Amino acid sequence: MAVYTRIGAEAMDALIARFDVGTLTSAKGIAEGVSNSNWIIETTGKSGGGARFILTVYEERTEVEELPFFLNLLDHLSAAGCPVPRTIHDVDGAPFREFVTDDGETKHLALIEFLPGVSADNPTPGQAEAVGRALAGIHLAALDYPAQRKNTMGHAAWRGFVADCEGRWGEIDSALEVVPTAVEDVIARWPRGLPQSVIHADLFPDNVLLVGDSVSGLIDFYFACTGPMVYDVAVTHAAWSFSGDGKRHDRAVGDAILRGYEAVRPLSSEERAALPIMSEGASLRFLLTRAYDWLFTPAGALVTKKDPLAFKRRYDFYQREGAGAFA
């Protein structure tokens, strides 16, 4: 989440009016993240009691042709009882709209249900176990989702980021000079033929809302795709069981993620064996996008840059520990 696109007060008021959710009272930009522009929207609500929503304007990493996949997925999972926000359709019944910026650029936006809860800064094993259960739940619920989507942050994208950052790793840190070789090594060892579903592929703590130790919302599905379910487990393990800088691994939290997941959907022996390499790959995937954003985020964007080295340390951990990280 971030704010790249600016929307003036009058334009924002007109946009929200198209969703029949009451009169706009507040629109606050959200600075965290790096992918799309987001605001917390407050309105009077249809009945006058007040209501909150998340407004998302889709930026360069989200293709408009793929919006039906994401937005219909939210409705599919919500209908199956998963803790995900519904899409708010506009007065014409459309799940998203287009608008023209002050610079004459056409962009697309959607309004999403706001769910209660807070994200965990320092996850506990109890919270991690609940997240594992919720992740398994969306995997099972999505098995009959009719649409499919390629992982646009898969191996081809990794190689693209490596090419984009060529010769510039040292501008971040010389420790990243090994990344191109590491990427090719992981791709060469990547397991095939593992069970698939729609996966979230970005389930960081800031994409999970909690009330106590219960998951109240899984959000930000804009990297969701069809892929190996165990890869999603690896992404979540890497995202939750380390300190933010990647220097400290919390074994209790990592074990709780797996325990919660397998209480709902047990992993096969093949998936268990794939966890180490999947986790190396998950670490490189986020290292690469962080490195790209570190080098290429426009000056003046309301975005908090994130340190690529935090995922270099995770990659080093998984490479060093292997299956021992999950035993």
Q: Tens digits of per-residue pLDDT, 191-212?
A: 999 999 999 999 999 999 999 9
Start-to-end C-alpha separation, the chain:
34
> Which of 39-43, 76-80, 105-109 comes out lowest in average pLDDT?
105-109
Would you say residue 84 has pLDDT above 80? yes
pLDDT at site 303: 62
Cβ(137)–Cβ(264) under 8 Å? yes
For residue 125, what are the contacts with CB-CB under 8 A and spacing of at least 6? 252, 253, 255, 256
Query: How far apart (Å, rounded) are the C-alpha atoms in residues 210 and 72?
Result: 23
Q: How many helices (H) and strands (E) does the chain have?
A: 9, 10
SS3 19: coil
pLDDT at site 34: 54
Cβ(80)–Cβ(55) under 8 Å? no
Query: How far apart (Å, rounded) are the C-alpha atoms in residues 275 and 281?
Result: 10
Average pLDDT of the segment spanning 231-257: 98
* CATH code of the domain occupying 9-113: 3.30.200.20
In terms of C-beta density within 10 A (0-12 exposed, 13-18 middle, 19 or more buried), how is residue 213 classed?
Answer: middle
Q: How confident is the model at residue 1 (pLDDT cuts 50, 70, 90)?
A: very low
Would you say residue 7 has pLDDT above 90? no
pLDDT at site 73: 97
Would you say residue 33 has pLDDT above 60? no
Which one-letter DSSP state was computed for residue 36?
S
CA 3 remoteness from chain centre: 16
Average pLDDT of the segment spanning 160-174: 97
Same fold, 9-113 and 125-325: no
pLDDT at site 39: 93
pTM for this prediction: 0.90
Query: How far apart (Å, rounded) are the C-alpha atoms in residues 130 and 135?
Result: 9
* CATH code of the domain occupying 125-325: 3.90.1200.10
Would you say residue 35 has pLDDT above 80? no
pLDDT at site 100: 87
Other Cβ atoms within 10 Å of 95 Cβ, number: 19
* Averaged pLDDT score across all residues of the chain: 93
Cβ(75)–Cβ(86) under 8 Å? yes
* In the chain, where the domains are located: 9-113, 125-325
Query: How far apart (Å, rounded) are the C-alpha atoms in residues 107 and 130?
Result: 36
> Which of 25-34, 163-172, 219-228, 310-319 comes out lowest in average pLDDT?
25-34
pLDDT at site 61: 64
Average pLDDT of the segment spanning 105-115: 93
